[in-house]
Amino acid sequence: MSDPTADLTTAAPEDDLLRRIQATGDGGREVVDAATRTPIGYAPVQTPDELEQAIARARAAQPGWEERGHAERSRLLNAAADAIDAHAEALARLLSREQGKPLNGPNARFEVGACSAWLRTAAATPLEPEIVVDDGTTRAELTYRAIGVVGAIGPWNWPLMITIWQIAAALRMGNTAIVKPSEYTTLSVLALVSVLNDVLPADVLIAVAGDREIGERLAAHPSIGKIMFTGSTRTGRKIVESSAENLARLTLELGGNDAGIVLPSADPKAIAQDLFWGAFINTGQTCAALKRLYVHDSLHDEVVAALAEVAAAMPMGNGLDERSVLGPLQNRAQFEIVSRLVDDAKANGGRVVTGGSPATQLGELFYPITLVTDVTDGVALVDEEQFGPALPIVRYSDVDDAVRSANRLDVGLGASVWGDRDEARRVATRIQAGTVWINSHGGVHPMIPFGGVKGSGYGLEFGVEGLKSVAVPHIVNG
């Protein structure tokens, strides 16, 4: 683990972004550094009236934005990606401070880079008219048009990247967008939107920061044609209820409890690094992270030992420390969930291989990488989404049993199978999840559709399917 007393008082390029976006102390909510718990600044807390004004402005701007056409909108999205790249270090540092993820590894700088990459891909992805029937008598052509105003309600774990996932396709298709950031990572998202608005026309993209009421009103507003939401299944259900008033279209990327199955044909040392990052990217705070691992008896001890060896080599500490690749839990509520689930596993016979108690020497919300064995289905750490740096490792002896275990919960965002590729593919077809990765876990690509099943939500993002999801089909038949 890295030195918590390291000197982190170098120049702060994010200060310019903070000056653009933050409220005064009297008019805002104090935001603290996730690692040090010291103040960063003040996030504005906007009112329902301000939301109404923002929606009216976005609605008025939408026809003109759509009329610019795909080529011009794509040009502007590429220019917006250039603006992100120009502010990349400032955005990464602010993200690291507010969210907690380190600058290095698959973390803050990686996330900012993904933002510009996703914008560029959305701009470049073709969506051609489709001739669905042309039989000499009937000719039917399918095209896609903008919905109108899209509401984007984002999470705190990957706040910048997921905001871009929500708005890139929406803007490309001619919609305007209202972004409602998480209360936990408001400043980072406001900074991103500010940078994008250096390039985009006025009122095409508007951020409204506030509490839960703002999200509820956004989801229920009659002028909102589509809601993009990433977050918990419980909140997702509330969004569905709110959206019933306006029949808004929905894309819901909800909670997951992704299973991984290690087959007898796997090589423990060869897969250990990818297993580790599949579970512990962003210190485990990822919807599609590997959250329960089923390992065949013949390899169990070797896999556990290999994962423990990788974990021991991964430094945890303040995100601005260039040596860190693992950070704190972002908020107290999530820290308490992880602590409770690990303690419950220990009380139910779980054996802690690494970690197992808070890393108080690093700071208030640090919890070390924790591997727990000798647990089974039914233990809370296996059955509940921990969303943090604790991984239960469950023995199995029959692949059919492992598949049943993977499918037994009402979630299905992602899963993975590890071992001989052909065998793993056969097993993957039996798993109930939106994406099943082979010999990796959690990787996303801007051209590969992504979405969940069961309690993990519905709708697809990315690629051509992502463009269609933020548009309405239009058929000319005759």
Question: Burial level of 315, CB count in 10 A (0-12/13-18/19+)?
Answer: middle
The helix/strand count (H/E) of the chain reads as: 16, 18
Per-residue pLDDT of the chain (478 residues; tens, 9 = 90+): 444 444 444 558 999 999 999 876 667 899 999 999 999 999 999 999 999 999 999 999 999 999 999 999 999 999 999 999 999 999 999 999 999 999 999 999 999 999 999 999 999 999 999 999 999 999 999 999 999 999 999 999 999 999 999 999 999 999 999 999 999 999 999 999 999 999 999 999 999 999 999 999 999 999 999 999 999 999 999 999 988 888 999 999 998 999 999 999 999 999 999 999 999 999 999 999 999 999 999 999 999 999 999 999 999 999 999 999 999 999 999 999 999 999 999 999 999 999 999 999 999 999 999 999 999 999 999 999 999 999 999 999 999 999 999 999 999 999 999 999 999 999 999 999 999 999 999 999 999 999 999 999 999 999 999 999 999 999 999 8
- Fill in the DSSP letter of residue 153: E
- Chain centroid to CA 370: 22
Residues of the chain with CATH 3.40.605.10: 14-254+454-477
**According to the model, what pLDDT value does residue 6 have?**
44
**Cα 414 to chain centroid, rounded:** 13
Considering the segment(s) 258-438 as one domain, its CATH architecture is 3-Layer(aba) Sandwich (3.40)
Catalytic residue among 14, 183, 216, 253: 253
Helix (H) or strand (E) holding 205: strand 205-207
Q: Into which CATH architecture does domain 14-254+454-477 fall?
A: 3-Layer(aba) Sandwich (3.40)
Which residues of the chain does CATH 3.40.309.10 include? Answer: 258-438
Q: Are 205 and 57 in contact (CB under 8 A)?
A: no
Determine which one of 115, 287, 385, 461 is catalytic. Answer: 287
Question: Which of 421, 390, 471 is closest to 169 using CA atoms?
Answer: 471
Three-class SS state of 84:
helix
DSSP state string for 253-306: E----EEEEE-TT--HHHHHHHHHHHHHGGGG--TTSEEEEEEETTTHHHHHHH
Other CB atoms within a 10 A radius of the CB of residue 410 amount to 11
The residue assigned the tokens 């602590």 is 339
pLDDT at 23: 75
Alpha carbon distance 218, 195 (integer Å): 23
Q: What pLDDT is attached to residue 128?
A: 92
Token pair 């959305």 is found at 122
Tokens of 318: 């303040």
Is-catalytic flag, 287? yes
Given this model, what pLDDT does residue 27 score? 73
Residue 8, pLDDT score: 46
To 10 degrees, the CA torsion angle through 291, 325, 91, 99? 50
Cβ atoms of residues 283 and 365 within 8 Å: no
Q: What is the DSSP letter of 229?
A: E
In angstroms and rounded to an integer, the radius of gyration of the C-alpha atoms of the chain is 23
